[in-house]
Amino acid sequence: MSGDRTMAASGPAQGATVSARGTPILRMEGLRRDYAQPSDFIDRIGRRLRGRGEPPPLRAVAGVDLDVMHGEVLAVVGESGCGKTTLGRMLTGIIPPTAGRVLYRGRDVTHLRGADRRAYELAVQMIFQDPFSSLNPRMRVRDIIGEAPVVHGLVGRAERDDYVCGLLRKVGLDPDYRERYPHQFSGGQRQRIGVARALALKPDIIVCDEAVAALDVSIQAQVLNLFMSLRRDFDLTYVFISHNLGVVSHISDRVAIMYLGRVVELAPTERVFSAATHPYTQALLKELPVLSAGKRRFDPIVGELPSPADPPAGCTFHPRCPRVMARCRVEAPVLRQVAGGHFSACHLNDETGAARGPGTEVAVTAHSTEPVQNATETS
Amino acid sequence: MDTRNDAPDGDLLLDIQDLKTWFYTREGVVKAVDGVSLRLRRGEILGLVGESGSGKSVTGFSIMGLVGERGKVRAGRMMFDGHDLLKISAEQMRRLRGDRLAMIFQDPMMTLNPTLRIDTQMIEAVRAHGKVSRRAARERSLDVLRMVGIPAPEARLKVYPHHLSGGMRQRIAIAIALLNAPRLIIADEPTTALDVTIQGQILYEVQKLCREMGTALIWITHDLALVSGLADRMAVMYAGRIVESAPTDILVEHPHHPYTHGLMASIPSLGTRGQPLFQIPGSTPSLLHLPAGCAFRSRCYRADAQCGHEPELRRTGPGHMASCWHGGEPS
């Protein structure tokens, strides 16, 4: 089949070379984010009378340690409510973490001030899910893309028009469109405008939050190809947040599977798809729709994602887990290495005896943050 | 222009020929559905696949008689279970809807009334179509809730829709569709807004129900991979027309239309890693100004001068129809 195959071979081999290629450009250490639960007046009075305090906070992200290596595509996968979007927003600095740190090129971003802080904010850009609500409907494309680089002094006011035209060409849009408003574009075109806006600030890292989820299949393929060619041209690192394992298997080098605010499995993409050890990952893989000539017997895992406001004790996945053991109800498993670059948080890893190294005690605390800091360093 | 010629007539549940649903807007006539023919046997599952704007949802709405006043539905024939949908009155159609013919929408809140408890809504739906006591209607509601795999159905009956999660709401919408044991369910992207694990659960329940109750199903979706595991037959729509239809295994293994190839090849997977994904250039055309000839012409890699004339949907194999001058498997 013919097609726009302009891109050089890049991809599978990178999974293996990631650790050799770089240092972590972005590091998350014990990252946590709580949200206060709204309570109404009556509820507050009731709590006061019964001598109870504030309702417990909703822990959207409950201690994540992850490294994003320079030049890789790290996918963060999970169901809605697992905290993946909150994680992405903390990476970009849109919301501050409740606890833990984000390190950009080895420096804690919460303590960055002035020009350093600005440099970090510009270097980490975001592309949003909804191409309809993420563009200001009252601004022309020229301003949507060109405003920020002028404000930040990346380009002069005089060169702005050329700069915008160049970016539009880069993302596959006609530069003549720069005088138009967002409503004059289709969903796929708007997403390209969103990509151009992110690129305009010459970022190192782009956080894509479900960036292709709202697009049609044929348009999704175009945008995914665009991401990959931009990665090569601009030496970009992606944090690719998605619920779609099909898209993730195509684009990413490493995959982190999240469940209820925690990373439960982290491994190079091939390994996730061939040797996942966590039952949740296995269940997600089984649900992945595959083009097939024969009928499928759907055999889903039961239940729904529990509320993060009231997470189950022990392993948070235990109420839905097909292989639940007594131990899972009381002890929370810790994310630890089961093979080179492959991390998993499940008690089953002990049962099979796989890679039980010394000093990998299981923590009983619900929010342990200290083990497994540097996912790829040890690989 | 039948999509399947070898179905014996007695077995036919739905027989639509040359359905045209046009919307008359200020800007002009939007031919959302322009000559669609469908035949469905009892208990058959049809996957109706297309991208946004291809007319797949409007096809569903036309069968249900839910097209708004700006739209006009015309057809050569529109028979459902012995009823002529073109001739019956609005009152007869109302009685059919929710009884023999049911629809599940993408957003369950389109089915559910946010101000009424689930039991009120379900009992009402049963009693609207037959003389049943409230108690019997309640029993029936509990039965279907169990059927779609809802835990603790008694408790669920007493709550309002906003108490429930998205997946649970969609299951209740499906349960309401099943209340009167319909012969045909039209499901319009019912799992698109749901998580993969919940989607799997709903597909499991739907597959089981169709098998056990012999309900026919039209599953409207943009996700070819998803529906390939469920449907007996698939029809691919583009710009208001069916461009290819075939039994699922034949369509997946021997697609004939370049658009169908393109859709399949552009599904990202582990196998496409490291290579650019096949992409269909351009985007779906505006239905207001469709050029003459094949609507896919401007995006097609096989297009030539002949495509200026409209290709007919013709038979290319057993039960396999495609409309392309240069049809054939991917080269």
pLDDT at residue B9 in the model: 57
pLDDT computed for residue B8 by the predictor: 52
Q: What is the pLDDT of residues B258-308, one digit of tens each?
A: 999 999 999 998 888 888 999 998 888 888 888 889 999 999 989 999 999
Per-residue model confidence (pLDDT) at position B250: 94
Distance between CA atoms of A195 and B172, rounded to whole angstroms? Answer: 39
Contacts of A13 in chain B (CB under 8 A): 274
Task: Give which of A200, A88, A96, A191 is closest to A142, Cα–Cα.
Answer: A200
Q: In the prediction, which pLDDT does A379 show? A: 33
Mean pLDDT across the stretch A228-240?
A: 93
Which residue in B has a C-alpha nearest to residue A270's C-alpha?
B270
**pLDDT tens, A114-164?**
899 999 999 999 999 888 889 999 999 999 999 999 999 999 999 999 999
Average pLDDT over residues B16-34: 93
Kindly state the average pLDDT of the residues A58-85. Answer: 92
Is residue B79 pLDDT above 50, yes or no? yes
Q: Categorize the per-residue pLDDT at B331 as very low, low, confident or very high, splitting at 50, 70 and 90.
A: low
3-state secondary structure of B177: helix
The pLDDT tens digits for B94-126 are 999 989 999 999 888 888 999 999 999 999 999
Does residue B242 or residue A81 have the better pLDDT? B242
Q: Annotate B110-134 with DSSP letters as a single string.
A: GTS-TTS-HHHHHHHHHHTSS---H
CB burial of A225-260 (b: ≥16 within 10 Å; e: otherwise) equals bbbbbbbeeeebbbbbbbbbbbbbbbbbbbbbbbbb
Rounded CA-CA distance B161/B115 in Å is 8
> A248 versus B10: which is more confidently predicted?
A248
Give this complex's ipTM.
0.85
Q: List phi, psi (to 5°) of B312.
A: -90, 150
| Residue A294: predicted pLDDT | 80
Shortest CA distance from B261: residue in chain A: A1
> Does B280 contact A218 at a Cβ distance shorter than 8 Å?
yes
Could you report the per-residue pLDDT of A11-33, keeping only the tens digit for each? 333 333 334 355 799 999 999 99
Q: How long, in residues, is chain B?
A: 331
pLDDT tops 80 at residue A4: no
Residues 249-278 in A contacting B (C-alpha not used; CB under 8 Å): 249-251, 269-270, 273
Least confident segment among B5-9, B77-81, B110-114, B227-231: B5-9
A310 touches chain B (CB under 8 A): no
Q: Is the CB of residue A155 less than 8 Å from the CB of residue A200?
A: no
Q: What percent of chain B has pLDDT over 90?
A: 63
Q: Verify whether the Cβ–Cβ distance A12 to B273 is below 8 Å.
A: yes
Token pair belonging to B273: 């890693």
A4 by Cβ neighbours in 10 Å (0-12 / 13-18 / 19+) ranks as middle
Q: Across-strand partners of B14?
A: B40, B80
The 10s digit of each residue's pLDDT in B193-228 is: 788 888 888 888 888 888 888 899 999 999 899 899
DSSP string, A96-117: --SEEEEEETTEEGGG--HHHH
User: CA-CA distance, B310 to B325, in Å (whole number)?
Assistant: 9
pLDDT tens-digit series, residues B129-160:
989 999 999 999 999 998 888 888 999 999 99
Taking the CA atoms of residue B92, residue B95, residue B99 and residue B102 in that order, the dihedral angle to the nearest 10 degrees is 70
Predicted confidence at residue B3, as pLDDT, reads 46
Question: CATH 3.40.50.261: does it fit domain A17-36+56-276?
Answer: no
Q: How far apart are CA A242 and CA A238, in angstroms?
A: 12
Least-confidence region, from A299-313, B83-97, B239-253: A299-313
Distance CA B169, CA B154 (A): 15
> A273 to chain B: nearest residue by CA?
B270
DSSP conformational letter for A304:
-
Distance, in Å, from the CA atom of B14 to the CA atom of B63, rounded to the nearest integer, reads: 9
Bridge partners of residue A337, in order along the sequence: A343
Find the CB nearest B195 among A2, A217, A243. A243
Q: What is the mean pLDDT of chain B?
A: 90
For residues B75-79, average pLDDT: 95
Phi and psi of B68, rounded to 5°? -65, 180
E strand or H helix at A121: helix A114-123
Q: What angle do CA A27, A28, A32 make, to 5 degrees?
A: 170
**Distance between CA atoms of A223 and A220, rounded to whole angstroms?**
5
Fold of B9-100+180-322: Rossmann fold (3.40.50)
* A87: CB partners within 8 A, 6+ apart: A28, A31, A33, A61, A64, A76, A241, A258
Distance, CA of B1 to CA of B38 (rounded, Å) = 9
Q: Which of A229, A250, A278, A284 to mutate to test the interface with B (most CBs of B within 10 A)?
A: A250
Number of Cβ within 10 Å of residue A47's Cβ equals 14
The pLDDT of residue A23 is 76
Count of A-B CB contacts under 8 Å: 162
Average pLDDT for chain A: 84
Q: Is A293–B269 a contact, with Cβ atoms under 8 angstroms apart?
A: no
Q: Which amino acid is at A254?
A: R
Say yes or no to pLDDT of B27 above 80: yes
What pLDDT does residue B260 have?
94
Average pLDDT (A271-280) is: 94
Q: Which residue of A has its CA nearest to B283?
A: A219
